[in-house]
Amino acid sequence: MKLTRRLLFALLFISAFFSSHTIAQCIPQPDLEKVFARVKPEQAQDTGFLWQIEKNGRVSHLYGTMHVLPEKFVMPGRKTMQAFQSSDAVAVEVNVLDAQLVEELMAEIKKAPDLMRLNAAQQKEAMRLAKKFCIEKDLKDDQPWSFKYIQITMGKVRTLGLEPALSREVFLAILASNLQKTVFSLETAKVQAQALTLGWDVPSIMVDKYLADIENGATDRVMSKMLNFWSTNQLEKFADIDQWCECKDDAFQRRLLTEMNDGRNPGMASELDRLHSSGKKVFAVIGALHMTGALALPKLMEQKGYIVRRVF
């Protein structure tokens, strides 16, 4: 897939979130033009979770994705592409190809309260991990530690071959832009910033645990399980947090997972309904966890009068 100069420029802003510096001993950023050139559509798989949502004689789609993927999953499968092609607009949580919006998001992140407070020993350990994953220069003094922790975690995730730049929302947003389909954001920069930071105090003992999990294999196991359930369309197992999160007795982490997802779903459902009701057939690409739980997006769309059908 050919990338325009404008899209290549916009993709640089993804680095502002979760990238590592491209130095000799570090994992280089994927060359998206080369990755897309290697894509073989006939080998693509319908991974993830897809629903049709129908109302007022129009069919839109909800697609549950993962925000980091290996190269082998960068190309969506046949059913996913058919749904995408039948739509005239794409909706994502936040359009990372919109440079102005990303700048707004970074500004909102800097304004977030720093409620994940690290003591001197914890800061030393966090910076050791950041250096190990080649992202120490990405951690800015004016960013809250909760966001820095996400960056460190993403640095670790990249060692597993999982890349934010290869996510389905990035691929489909690029494709939509090349096809002159409009790409909409379902959330504001402020709401997305709240999801990338924390709105409550993190106990010091939890900071120790989260930093330790990055190296003790817990992060690897969690991501591997999630990717397996997602890539094999096992929604029930993906939705069962106890199947993968290693947090059965961790009330704080379970609250975090619930509030980061359930708390944002009503707003995204309302915005998706607004776009659909305006006459658009929308292909919405949203993190798969938002398709689970008491406030799962398919449930919320059904409550808004949509006929909801699971495709896979």
* Close Cβ partners of 205 (under 8 Å, ≥ 6 residues apart): none
Q: State residue 12's pLDDT score.
A: 44
pLDDT for residue 2: 53
- pLDDT score for 1: 56
What integer pLDDT is reported at residue 25 of this predicted model?
A: 59
Tokens of 215: 């190296």
Rounded CA-CA distance 28/5 in Å is: 20
Q: Which two tokens stand for residue 88?
A: 């005239």
CB distance 189 to 101 below 8 Å: yes
Task: Give the C-alpha separation, 105 to 121, whole Å.
Answer: 30
List, for the chain, all residue ranges whose pLDDT scores fall below the cut of 50. 5-10, 12-13, 15-18, 20-24
Domain limits of the chain? 1-28+102-215+247-278
**What pLDDT, on the 0 to 100 scale, is given for residue 259?**
78
Report the pLDDT value the prediction gives residue 255, as an integer from 0 to 100.
79
Residue 39 has what pLDDT? Answer: 85
pLDDT in tens, 181-210: 999 999 999 999 999 998 788 999 999 999
Burial 214-244 (b: 16+ CB within 10 A, else e): beeebbbebbebbbebbbebebebbbebeeb
Residue pLDDT, tens place only, 56-81: 999 999 999 999 999 999 999 999 99
pTM of the model: 0.91
Check: CB of residue 264 under 8 Å from CB of residue 191: yes
